[in-house]
Structure 1
Amino acid sequence: MRAALSILAVVSLFSTQAVQSAAPADTSQVREDQWHLTFLKVNEAHKVSRGAGVLVAVPDTGVDPHPDLSRNLLEGKNILTGTGDGLRDANSHGTAMAGLIAAHGANGEIGALGIAPEAKILPIISSTSDNYGEADKLAEAIDYAVTQHAGVISISSAGVTSEKLTRSVKNALAADIVVVAGVGNLPEAATIGYPAAEEGVIAVSGIDQAGNHAPISVTGPKIEIAAPAVDIYSTSYGGKYSKGTGTSSATAIVAGAAALIRSKYPNLPAQEVAHRLTATAVDKGPPGRDDQYGYGVIDLVAALTADVPPLGFESSVVTPPASTAAGPGKGDDDSGTVRGLATLGVLVAAGGGYLFWRRRRRADDPPPRVSR
């Protein structure tokens, strides 16, 4: 068994996965062990979108061509050496992240399954086999992803930035790419690391199997959304499987969700993709945004199907489609599920402008419950 441990240096990035271990392969068992699939109603989400047509860049330790993932792997690049295609991983971390995003499994119901099993993965080696990564190397990886027209960049690392990295992240955002990053893990990090701290990046924190804040996850005012992060099973090198705990996994899951949305709504700008994720999130903790959950816990089905007006027309409530059971219990609000940012109930043209009807959460409304 090998373990990839988080590493932090003065000018480095560190993996946002506490432990990523390569366990013996058990193709028939791993799907059952992927508790986050049931928690997030992935099968229901896949009836709407499976991520087809979306390229997700994964700057990490590389991606091994696992049988459950190989159909979705493209040739990428080794930033560390300037040669190679990124299709190797001596660590397991990058392969695990790619599997959470886009693993297609084997023979239908067995093997690892990703959130967006028809998305393509662009593997980029930007960290060494011990998970050490320099900020400028990550910057080069992001620049490469931009040149390859990635729709989503999933960054499961956090740390100190550099002028070059800050510029690269801003360039990716300006290129209409959804950039998703983990906020970091305790005790290695005390505050939200970069790139999650950058405005416009979807900063992801972690929850456990009960839907509560994972103690390992860093907290802070930049957090946008929370996703499963504890005992998360995925692919590993050599055809094996892995189990990890940390905001790395949560990041990859949210990146997969972004791929589902970009596939379902191909003309939706990156900012609106992020808005759709946060607007439909299941509110946890204090009402509205908070430093543990951001705007709430990700809800895949609602993010794909709810009526979410564009940015600039938000209110305190999103009404999910009546035909689905996405999200928490229906008793939270008599007109629909209470959500994080979310949205406008009615738009009516009036006197050359707009009349906005917004339904606020009542003070005596019970707190929303996370779906399982």
Structure 2
Amino acid sequence: MTRATARRRRTASALMALALAGGASTAALTLATPAYADSWRDKEYWLAESGITKAWDVSKGAGVKVAVIDSGVDGKHPDLAGVLGGGVDISGAGSANGQASIGAKPEHGTLVATMLAGRGHQAPDASAKPSAKPSASATPGSGPAVGPEGIVGVAPEAQLLSVSTWLGSANPGGKSDQAQIPEAVRWAVDNGARVINISLGSTSPAWPQSWDAAFLYAEQKDVVIVAAAGNRVGGNVQVGAPATIPGVLTVAGLDRTGAASIDSSSQGISIGVAAPAEDLVGGMPNGGYAEWAGTSGATPIVAGVAALIRSKWPEMSASQVINRIVSTAKDAGAPGKDPLYGFGVLNAEAALKADVPETKVNPLGSISDWIRVHRRGNLATTASAAAPAPSSAAPTLPEATVPVAEKPSQLDSALPAAVVLGFGCLLVGIVVAAAVQLRAAMRRPPKNGPDGPDKSEPGAEPGAADPAASSNPS
């Protein structure tokens, strides 16, 4: 590895280390175990204002697995009882089932999970104050009951997969941020996730080429990926990866009035929809609760709605799910799609009840098309996962093939031979003709006999020889 390459990797890792800090550092975390947990339920204003309680008339997420790629999810939280359907640790520093809270912000994953699929709980004390809010279990369906106390998530009947990663500080497990993310995405896809929640981000819009294959794999397997846009107060003025990857549903944040949040949201052309990001509440590891803020909290709200849609229409493609969410959003800001609100403000009721034309194209793009144009169709080679889970999924890329040489053209090989043969015959002919001519010349007799012409003059003395004849052989 060259120094330049190492420096680029350290820089990218440092940028990604801001991922979870952006979501939790903006939150004024209020840790508490209140006497009446339903007081936290009363603070979930987004359930009504985003149309979620009305969307529950149609679906509550039953039968859908949602992967939470985060700092680990505490499955022992009372509001998450029976919610986790599996998990894994990708970092090498957490628990095998992904439920240990790790990283720079260990509480982050449990906050996200309770907002996404919390089921509340029954008060352990029968004399506890009854909840002022109606229970989500009042809607038709045979799914798990939702308790009147604590946090109820957007998709309370969905199952979660906890995929723990170590982000925001040096990983004692040794794996870098860049290595953990693609491995986490692949594991989630291979283990049945229909929706993936990624409440993390970076200050860089670019992503490592090693991520291409994993996000392409998710796209090919028809999985919806929902990612946080990032927060200005965390240094993310513009949307950073992985929220910039084509095809990913990127979530911006709103303040309590429904306007784009100044602190708890960034901006960018990849934003798909906006959702509440301030004055949020969620569960903490070890059973507590907290108030927090950031697009890290807005993301599970949208991911939960995606789970509601996939539960209602199991055969609906990921592109159609995303299109249903963005096309039913309430337009805000500049008319049409804009870099603050994307297509608009989330409207869960419309996403579940409106008539939306079918589409085969993801309105947020395709990583497959992007790779073909920007990478010239080439994917970076990455190390294979140590122990991939059993899956019937076909490999992302076809098996490599060795090109077969074409048989040489007979015309091309015959022409040079004919030329050489022709010149050879011509040369032989010339030599033969020359030899015949020479032989014929040697056999031709002299004109005046064998002794040549008689050069004696009349009257010469007998015996007087011609001087010229003395040079002839006798």
| TM-score relative to the length of structure 1 | 0.78
Within the candidate set 304, 309, 316, 1:256 is matched to 304
What's 2:89 paired with? 78
Q: Give 2:327's aligned residue.
A: 279
1:68 matched to 2:79? The reply is yes
Partner of 2:247: 200
Alignment partner for residue 23 of structure 2, among 17, 26, 38?
Answer: 17
CA contact (8 A) 1:181 1:204 kept: yes
Distance in 2, matches of 1:239 and 1:231, equals 20
Residue 175 of structure 2 is aligned to residue 136 of structure 1: no
Q: Aligned to 1:112, which of 141, 148, 151?
A: 151
In structure 2, the CA distance between the partners of 1:60 and 1:22, relative to structure 1 (3 Å rule), is farther
Q: What's the counterpart of residue 58 of structure 1?
A: 68
For residue 273 of structure 2, what is the amino acid of its counterpart? I
**What is the CA-CA distance between 1:127 and the residue it aligns to?**
2.2
> In the alignment, what sits opposite 1:147?
190
Find out whether 1:156 has 2:199 as its counterpart. yes
Out of 155-164 and 217-226, give the one that drifted further.
Answer: 155-164
Q: What is the alpha-carbon distance in structure 1 between the residues aligned to residue 154 and residue 169 of structure 2?
A: 26
Higher strand proportion (structure 1 or 2): 1
- Structure 1's 89 and 13: CA in aligned 2 closer, same or farther, altered over 3 A? same
Does the 8 A contact of 2:38 with 2:149 survive in 1?
yes
Alpha-carbon distance, 1:209 to partner: 1.5
Secondary structure of 1:122's aligned partner:
strand
Residue 75 of structure 1: how far off its partner (Å): 2.6
Runs of 4+ in 1 over 3 A off after TM superposition: 10-13, 128-133
Change (3 A) 1:71 1:292: same
Structure 2: which amino acid aligns with 1:17? G
How has the CA–CA distance of structure 1 residues 72 and 256 changed in structure 2, closer, same or farther, with 3 Å as cutoff? same
From 256, 267, 278, give the equivalent of 1:230: 278
Question: Distance between the aligned counterparts of 2:84 and 2:190, measured in 1?
Answer: 17
- Aligned twin of 1:167: 213
Q: How does 1:207-226 map to 2 (within 5 A)?
A: 207-216=254-263, 217-226=265-274
Give 1:173 deviation, angstroms: 1.5
For 2:223, the equivalent position in structure 1 comes to 177
Superposition deviation, residue 10 in structure 1: 4.0
CA separation in 2, counterparts of 1:270 and 1:100?
Answer: 22
Distance verdict in 2 for CA 1:122–1:75, change over 3 Å: same
Residues 107-143 of structure 1: CA deviation (Å, up to 9, x unaligned): 3322101000000010011124859871220111111
Amino acid at match of 1:208: D
- Give 1:50 shift: 0.4
Answer with 1 or 2: which has the greater Rg: 2
After superposition, the Cα gap between the structure-2 partners of 1:189 and 1:131, relative to the gap in structure 1 and judged at 3 Å, is farther
Partner of 1:39: 49
State the distance in 1 between where 2:88 and 2:66 align: 14
Selected match of 1:96 from 111, 119, 122: 111
Q: Deviations over 1:278-322 (max 9, x none)?
A: 0100110111111100000000110001000012799xxxxxxxx
1:179/1:202 contact within 8 Å kept: yes
Residues 295 and 242 from structure 1, CA distance in 2 versus in 1: closer, same or farther, beyond 3 angstroms? same
Q: Contact 1:222 / 1:291 at 8 angstroms: preserved in 2?
A: yes
Q: How far apart, in 2, do the equivalents of 1:102 and 1:86 lie? A: 17
Deviation at 1:13, TM superposition (A): 5.6
Counterpart-to-counterpart distance in 2, 1:195 and 1:120? 24
Specify the code of the residue in structure 2 equivalent to 1:25: T
Aligned-partner SS, 2:336: coil
Does residue 189 of structure 1 match 2:239?
Answer: no
The letter of the residue matching 1:119 is A
Q: 1:125 aligns with which of 164, 167, 184?
A: 164
| Structure 2 residue identity aligned to 1:40 | S
- Which residue pairs with 1:87 in the alignment? 99
TM-score computed with the length of structure 2 as normaliser: 0.62
Cα distance in 1 between the residues matched to 2:189 and 2:30: 31
Cα 1:86/1:22, change in 2 over 3 Å: farther
Percentage identity across paired residues of the two chains: 37
Alpha-carbon distance in structure 1 between the residues aligned to 2:41 and 2:170 = 26
8 Å contact 1:34–1:234 — kept in the other structure? Answer: no
Q: Is the 8 A contact 1:284 1:293 kept in 2?
A: yes
1:192–1:219 contact (8 Å) kept in structure 2: yes
Kindly tell me the number of residue pairs found equivalent between the two proteins: 308
User: How far apart are the structure 1 equivalents of 2:159 and 2:23?
Assistant: 22
**Could you tell me whether the CA contact under 8 Å between 1:22 and 1:243 is conserved in 2?**
yes
Q: Is the 8 A contact 2:71 2:166 kept in 1?
A: yes
Question: Any unmatched runs of 5+ in structure 2?
Answer: 1-11, 123-146, 363-474
1: CA distance, partners of 2:86 / 2:317: 26
Of 246, 250, 262, which aligns to 2:294? Answer: 246
